[in-house]
Amino acid sequence: MRLLAPEDFEPWVGRKVRINTLPNPIELTLNRIERLPPLWRGVDFREPFSLFFDGPLHAYLLDLEYEFDCGRGGPHTLFINQLQPSATSRHYQAAFS
């Protein structure tokens, strides 16, 4: 099994990504990819990174796994965490270590 890397998501940056939720799918925008320093030099299997998504206030997602589909290079099942919402949108993060 190949581990996902930041390059797998670069075509998604700035694009709306469909999240398969019930009863209807919702869309979030992948705003950025943050590359992180290795946790243990020589031991890491991949470069650690995080994906940051934004969505409308009504797009309330729990800290769970969801299927993300951008129409190409996916779909991928990602575990996301909620971040502090702003006045106009909700924010989510998927972290890979």
What is the residue extent of each domain of the chain?
6-76
Q: What is the pLDDT of residue 41?
A: 67
Nearest alpha carbon to residue 93 among 75, 74, 80: 80
pLDDT of residue 60: 92
Phi/psi of residue 7, nearest 5 degrees: -60, -25
What is the average per-residue pLDDT within 28-43? Answer: 84
Confidence (pLDDT) at 18: 95
What pLDDT, in 10s, does the model give residues 74-97?
788 999 999 999 999 999 999 998
* pLDDT per residue as tens digits for the range 44-70: 567 899 999 999 999 899 999 999 997
Q: Which run of H or E residues covers position 83? A: strand 81-83
Asked whether the whole model's pTM tops 0.85, one would answer: yes
Rounded distance between C-alpha atoms, residue 73 and residue 31, angstroms = 17
* DSSP letters for 7-49: HHHGGGTTSEEEEE-SSS-EEEEEEEEEE---SSTTT-SS--E
